Amino acid sequence: MGKKVAFVLSGCGVKDGSEIHEAVAALIALDRAGYEIVFTAPDVEQAATVDHSTEEAETVSRNALKEGARIARGNIRPLSALRPEDYDAVVFPGGFGAALTLCSFASDGTECSVNPEVESLINEARQSGKPIVAMCIAPVILARTIPGARLTIGSHPETADAINSMGAVHVNCPVNDCVVDVERKLVTTPAYMLASGPAEVFEGAVIMVEKLGELF
């Protein structure tokens, strides 16, 4: 068996959950590299729901775990049930759910908070020396929880400034590359913060997974 990756979802859909192209690109890259995927999500209501056909807010409530199960093909477990022995690394795909439900960056900016179960997962991974990977906007979660972390969301000035304001260090990065913080065992890639389509997202995902493997 290969190393196991806790793949943390926040729903299903770019506007209010996990970005599906990014999730699939990462999953394919991880699978090709021999990783075993452990799908997980906090069992909470999403902070927002959006009609993706109109981009308008909806009043219907959606559960992040149940929605994430769509991407996981049903094989998903609550984040609260995840144990340290269940994974060797952590991966956060992007999508606004990462900045709405996994943390509150979308609404609170540099004063954001992180879902307690997500924060516990990050802390446990760091204490155990396990690598953490984040795509697109998800690195803001790491900026909030890991002082001094070297991260990228690409080159978006306002978001980069916010990351620096939270005590992390933003590094500009092209879409087909990633930033590695060897000391803290972090890998981040811009994905749809810069990508013009899924092929570019996949290019970044492949190099992201290659660099992940160098951190073990």
| Catalytic residue (choose from 12, 136, 173, 178) | 136
Using CA atoms, how far apart are residues 102 and 81, in angstroms rounded to an integer? 16
Contacts of 202 (CB under 8 A, 6+ apart): 25, 28, 29
Q: Does the annotation mark 136 as catalytic?
A: yes
**CB atoms inside a 10 Å sphere around CB 114:** 19
β-bridge mates for residue 103, sequence order: 114
The Cα–Cα gap between 78 and 158 comes to 33
E strand segments, the chain: 4-8, 36-41, 50-51, 56-57, 76-78, 89-92, 132-135, 150-151, 169-170, 179-181, 186-189
Active centre residues (catalytic): 136
